[in-house]
Structure 1
Amino acid sequence: MADGASSFWGPVTSTHEWCEPNYVYSSYIAEFFNTISIVPSILLALVGLLNSLRQRFEKRFSVLHISNMILAIGSILYHATLQRLQQQGDETPMVWEMLLYIYILYSPDWHYRSTMPTFLFLYGAAFAIAHSQLRFDIGFKVHYVLLCLLCIPRMYKYYILTEEKSAKRLAKLYVVTLSLGSLCWLVDRQFCKDISRWYFNPQGHALWHISMGFNSYFANTFLMYCRAEQKRWDPKVEHFLGFFPYVKIQKPKAQ
């Protein structure tokens, strides 16, 4: 998209721009709506982190919420600057986050405790180095989609094994937000030329950010419920302010 105001960050060096004019509202923020729409993701991840710490969930969930925040911050820097380095600071944490989801989903049935985290850590480090040197484009997208697909069978297994309706609702909200967000992303990407001629830009990529912020929150909350159920912590889905779901657990006194 063509630049509006002057650019503080210099010429665009990222491999992708989105359907929003650059530097319209500030010389410091390239894509204004795509940048500020990520703030809810940070706030939702912070809510999840505080709940995880307060109820002493396993450290994996604290790390998961923190990784959501790191990804969101990287995405803010990318959309604010449209620089290649910041783009990698967005894309690399996306892969790291999916590796963490794979660990959380599959580790309960993995008999060799140190093997999986060691392999995933080395895989993530190798990808970060390779991505910084080779600058994947289409390959990155294919790789990321494959990692996402690896999570789906396990998520579905947890869904069918969960009997609690409120927990199943979390999984359904995860699917709904993922579907709506993906639709917004595709429309914004495929029909940008047409949208640019409209009087009003619906900001599809910004809507994708908001949808995925809630998507991550619902996914994390559902996984926390499933893990608490595995540990027999008597989990219940409660709602803060009547809207935000969170998992409340009751650990045995011995724990």
Structure 2
Amino acid sequence: MQWIPSFPYPPSKAGFWNPVTSTLNWCEEDYYATIYSAEIVNTLTNLLFMWLGVKGIISCRRNQHDQIFLVALLGYLVVGTGSFLFHSTLKYPMQLVDELSMIYTTCLMAYASFSYTRPLGFRVVLALSLTFLSVFITLYYHYLQNPVFHQNAYALLTIVVVFRSMHTMEVTLRPRWRKSREEDRLERQKQGLPVPTKERQHYENVRDMKTLKTMWFMVAYGLSMFLGGFAIWNLDNQFCSSIRRWRRVVGLPWGIFLEGHGWWHVMTGLGAYLYIVWGIWLRHCLNGNQEDYHLRWARFWHIPEVIRTTPVSENSVSRDKKST
């Protein structure tokens, strides 16, 4: 590999944060770049998480999205910040901040998904149940100190929330799953809403099918990011000794591209952010605000954003208040 311009990996040093107290240590060699960061690539890749978290919070406030998503984005930012601190120090308290904030943020998204339009009593019970679940996972994980338990709990919660959102999306937007035209007409009359003409109904059906197609692409893209990152991370774990040897053969900076856990951060950061944006857009569709908001996503490699394009109508505002 002499033809590739590179420089050799420096030897590992005694770290500023020694000793390591975390129950996990990844395939990236410790303290080879600086004594102040145990795993420099795994640390810096979390800057994407942190940037997207700040970007999402600003967008959420500017476009007046539901408050539950503002809290979820704050949780997303905490995940990135906790992971930054964990990989910098490899300290057990920072590991808990990193891993448990993933559980808490997913529970927030579960609340957003399952509480919509439910009566107050149901929302209170759901909030208490998710709080109890979060506390149980926290205490049991601290007792076991087994990362597999955390990974399984996070995966199960994520699967439940994603499949629930998929079902809601299909039932809400696909015309054949909706109520019949006559049922919809009667319900609108009871609510004092205007009854749509055939032309308007056709327009809404075409609009919602277009939205549904884009949403399914977003879901597939986000899942491919998650699963692809997970696959790379697993390869990193299974073949760590070989990968470390390959890194030293190609040298720096090229060895950075063989840091599998860093790729996990980048890909799951994008996947999780896509999921939150999808949830925001789906909530506006559930509220009947499709005319007031749209998804700005010119190319798949751009960062999507749900934009408020027109003043929200009084009916839309009242629906938003009922849903929160």
Q: Normalising by the residue count of structure 2, what TM-score does the alignment of the two structures yield?
A: 0.72
How far 1:22 moved relative to its partner?
A: 0.4
Match for residue 216 of structure 2?
168
Aligned position for 1:114:
124
Runs of 4+, deviation exceeding 4 Å: none
Q: Does 2:153 match 1:151?
A: no
Match 1:64 to one of 72, 76, 79: 72
Kindly indicate whether the alpha-carbon contact (under 8 Å) linking 2:218 and 2:278 is maintained by their aligned counterparts in 1.
yes
Greater C-alpha Rg: 2
Alignment length, in residue pairs?
Answer: 253
Partner of 1:222: 278
Q: Does 1:239 align with 2:300?
A: no
- The one-letter code matched in structure 2 to 1:193 is S
Partner of 2:313: 252
- SS in structure 1 at match of 2:115: helix
Q: What is the CA distance between 1:240 and its match in structure 2?
A: 7.7
Alpha-carbon separation, structure 2, partners of 1:142 and 1:214: 21
Aligned to 2:225: 177
Deviations 1:151-173 (A, max 9, x none): 23213314534431333332222
- Normalising by structure 1, what TM-score? 0.91
Q: Tell me the CA shift for residue 33 of structure 1.
A: 0.1
> 235-244 or 84-93: which moved more?
235-244
Q: 1:207 aligns with which of 253, 263, 272?
A: 263
1:49 corresponds, among 49, 52, 57, to: 57
User: Deviation of residue 135 (structure 1)?
Assistant: 2.4
Within 5 Å, which residues of 2 pair with 1:94-133? 94-108=102-116, 110-111=118-119, 112-133=122-143
Measured in 1, the distance between the counterparts of 2:150 and 2:215 equals 33
Query: Pick from 23, 33, 37: which aligns with 1:29?
Result: 37
Unaligned stretches of 5+ residues in structure 1: none
Q: Distance in 2 between matches of 1:190 and 1:109?
A: 46
Q: Residue 29 of structure 1: CA displacement?
A: 0.2
Q: How big is the shift at 1:104?
A: 1.6
Cα distance in 2 between the residues matched to 1:239 and 1:140:
33
Which of 64, 69, 84 is the aligned partner of 1:76? Answer: 84
Given the alignment of the two structures, is residue 88 of structure 1 paired with residue 89 of structure 2, yes or no?
A: no
Whether the 8 Å CA contact 2:38–2:90 is kept in 1: the answer is yes
The Cα offsets for residues 126-173 of structure 1, whole Å up to 9 and x where unpaired, read as: 433343344233322222222222223213314534431333332222
In the alignment, is the contact (CA less than 8 A) between 2:106 and 2:157 conserved in 1?
A: yes
Identical-pair percentage:
24
Give the Cα–Cα distance (whole angstroms) in 2 for the partners of residues 61 and 240 of structure 1: 23
The letter of the residue matching 1:184 is I
Query: In the aligned structure 2, how far is the partner of 1:236 from the partner of 1:12?
Result: 47
Cα RMSD for the two superposed structures: 2.1
Q: 1:158 to 1:175 in 2, by over 3 A?
A: farther
Q: Which residue among 241, 244, 249 is the counterpart of 1:193?
A: 241
1:7-42, CA deviations, whole angstroms, 9 ceiling, x for partnerless residues? 111121211111111001111100000000010111
User: What CA distance in whole angstroms lies between the structure 1 residues aligned with 2:268 and 2:31?
Assistant: 24
Provide the C-alpha distance between the structure 1 equivalents of 2:147 and 2:270, rounded to a whole number of angstroms.
Answer: 26
Answer whether contact 1:71 1:90 (CA < 8 A) is retained. yes
Residues 23 and 145 in structure 2, CA contact (< 8 A), matched pair in contact too: no
Find the counterpart in structure 1 of residue 196 from structure 2.
none
**Aligned-partner Cα distance in 2 for 1:109–1:189:** 43
